[in-house]
Amino acid sequence: MTTPRDHLSELSTEEKASLTSGRDFWTLKPIERVGVPSIMVTDGPHGLRKQAAASDHLGIGDSVPATCFPPASGLGASFDPALAERVGVALGVESAIEDVAVILGPGINIKRSPLCGRNFEYVSEDPLVSGVIGAGLVKGIQSQGVGSSLKHFAANNQEFERMTMSSDVDPRPLREIYLRGFERVVTDARPWTVMCSYNKINGVYASQDPWLLTQVLRDEWGFEGLVVSDWGAVNDRVAALVAGLDLEMPGSDGAPDRAVATAAASDPAVAAALDASAARVLDLVGKAQARPAASGPLDVDAHHALAREAAGRSIVLLRNEPVGGAPVLPLAEDASIALIGEFARTPRFQGGGSSHINPTRVDSALDALTAAAGDRVAFAPGFAFDAAADGQDALRDEAVALAASRDVAVVFLGLTDAEESEGFDREHIDLAAHQLALLDAVAAANPRTVVVLSNGSVVALPFADRVPAIVEAWLLGQAGGSATVDVLLGAVNPSGRLAETIPHRLEDTPAFGNIPGSLGHVRYGEGILVGYRWYDARDIAVTYPFGHGLSYTAFGYGAVSAAVTASGDIQVTVPVTNTGSRDGREVVQVYIAPVASVVERAPRELKAFASVEIAAGATADVVLTVRREDLAYWDTRVDRFVVEGGAYRVEVGASSRDLRDSTAVDVAGDAIVLPVTPESTLAEVFAHPVAGPMIAGAFAAVQEQLGDAGDGIMSGDAMAKMLGSFPLGRLPAFGWGVDREGVDRLIAAANAPQA
């Protein structure tokens, strides 16, 4: 049986060039004379956005109804890759039914700053969580014979001037923070496509960066799929092709295709790149053709139920203090409830822009709570979304009166589409002043006040110590209203955890002062200290730490044990006991750091996690594996990841600042032999296996010349430290019996091939 790739040799240069750009907004060009069909790709990290008529990239045109699952900001808080995979399967099923070959997602860019307007579409501030959840989604989608598109590759961490801005990132943070999640998904899940980002990286457009698209993605990580541009991201089509970009989207007037064909006719390098890209496009078409015909119609109810389950698992219970002897949540079965806030009636369940889904249905918290609690519930909007709208005072007064008349007040607050969307960044992390004023008044009228948040990225919580209960409900997809009520009433025991830190102030955040940049450049000045790494390294107080989340039960941790396996991984075991009276799910988190390091390291980094269901009174022996490669830092001297040898501290707990037990384990390091040069320090020379013994005698003579510790201008220890940073090539100038010829001989011997 022939495949589309088999026709490559039959194609003209012009036909090959035509394959490397879209036919229109969402489809690829066919080549009918050899039987290569057109295939469709479409948006949808958390739901299918197949547009039925007019096409656009910002969610303006209508699309076919599809299930809107929780966006990544919610699903990431589940800390559960198995749940992500189940959602991915559902996305793949819906795509297959609609004959979509590739669904454009997931997005796993790091939440560098809470200001990024697209944070709702990204998973976490941590690369491990981003990579593991992203891999789960990709595996699920592609299990249905539908391709995924891992995006946005790479360092796309803001919306301000996103199509031209240069993300200026040093090698260590680029590799350790911003690329690591992508590497995890590429190597673990093998996505069919990777989508390059709009921005430049260190001055080079991602779409035409051979280092990024070929050296890193293909040569180092072994990616064999297709690289597609973000829509409109290509600046120079020929340069992009040679760099490793296979497909430019969307379609255009044909000028880029003609430029590619002309260049290929005269330049063998362009011709070879064109052959490779055309072959990858044909491979993608072949994969799409290999999918069995999907059976429909869509089981709308089953997918809505999955969306509800995923939303419930994404909710994070931030605070739940007792009032009158018992925690406020779950709500008492006989409590009268004041439900307050327009978000309860008009839910904001997804972000704006290219990921905007036309849902099959939408559940509101008002409808769900009324259905469950009947006339025990009374509603007041409390505010209008438009802060400038007339009547805000009257709405507030009505809500306060209602709150005072009920046993408990549940207040829904959040961000509107106008405050948070693709295409622009937020200017602050505050909730609207009229919403905060409403909350203050309600809390004064009713001490049993619960806050439910609707937001795609974190907001400041100045009221965190003034209300007894806070529920972080993110943007939860079409079933979020029902899922939130499930948690409020206790039908679902909350198990979500924060995949991003909630700071006290914007000024405390890592990128503050280094975002959004100016004059076409944004400097990633915080380096590797992104998210919780920054707050822990700087000992900055936060409102709620990374990994935090409460439950309606409690979990006790036993003694942690850790051992290095034969493969070099670390196996961590900890018994976890559900000490409460309700079944629940605990997210066990493993943080690791070397006890000593030659480079700057965060005090601790998440290296493994597991979401574990434990029955009331039961104990689970939780076993987690830390991959050896995840212990490595990027060594700029040798341009590769290196695992340092020595003792590592292993801490296990329920958040980055709720660590229940710890142990230590010794890890064998990777061997590094640096070339010896005149710029090598004496400390580096002493550590060299060949040069070290050779220079030992000469250095002893130097120390003798300098006198013992009691003589001279500094102590022996201080002198040793100073000389440790002394460049080898400068020793002859000091007349210490080390001449220039001796240095040259030492360098030649050290760098000679060893038998």
The three state secondary structure string of 23-68 is CCCCEECCEHHHCECCCEEEECCCCCECECCCCCCCCCCCECCECC
Measured between its terminal Cα atoms, the distance across the chain in Å is: 52
CA distances from 694 to 671, 687, 742, 753 (A): 20, 11, 10, 16
Q: Residue 709: what pLDDT?
A: 44
Q: Which of 372, 321, 654, 342 is nearest to 488 (CA)?
A: 372
Q: Residue 720: what pLDDT?
A: 67
Half-sphere exposure for 314 (CA within 13 Å, toward CB):
38
Beta carbons of 481 and 536 less than 8 angstroms apart: no
Question: For the chain, which residues make up each domain, given as ranges?
Answer: 32-246, 307-544, 555-667, 682-751
Beta carbons of 498 and 316 less than 8 angstroms apart: yes
CATH number for the region 32-246 comes to: 3.20.20.300
Query: CA quadruple 151, 153, 156, 160: dihedral positive or negative?
Result: negative
Pick out the chain residues at pLDDT < 50.
708-710
Q: Residue 690: what pLDDT?
A: 87
Q: How many residues does the chain have?
A: 755
Cis-peptide, bond into residue 114, ω within 30° of zero: no
Tell me: the pLDDT tens digits for 575-592?
A: 999 999 999 999 999 999
The pTM score is 0.94
Pairing relation of β-strands 619-626 and 570-578?
Answer: antiparallel
- As annotated, the active-site residues are 230
Q: Residue 221: what pLDDT?
A: 98
CA distances from 570 to 266, 566, 648, 671 (A): 54, 9, 10, 19
Give the single-character DSSP code of 176: I
Q: Give residue 435's identity as a one-letter amino acid code.
A: Q
Q: Residue 736: what pLDDT?
A: 67
Q: Residue 280: what pLDDT?
A: 98
CATH of 555-667, one of 2.60.40.10, 3.40.50.2300, 3.50.50.60, 3.40.47.10: 2.60.40.10
Region for 423 from its dihedrals, namely left if φ exceeds 0, alpha if ψ lies in -120 to 50, beta otherwise = left
For the record, the structure tokens of 706 come out as 């300098």
φ and ψ at residue 233, rounded to 5 degrees: -85, -10
- Domains 307-544 and 555-667 equal at CATH topology level: no
- The CATH number of domain 307-544 is 3.20.20.80: no
d(CA 639, CA 377): 62
Give the single-character DSSP code of 248: B
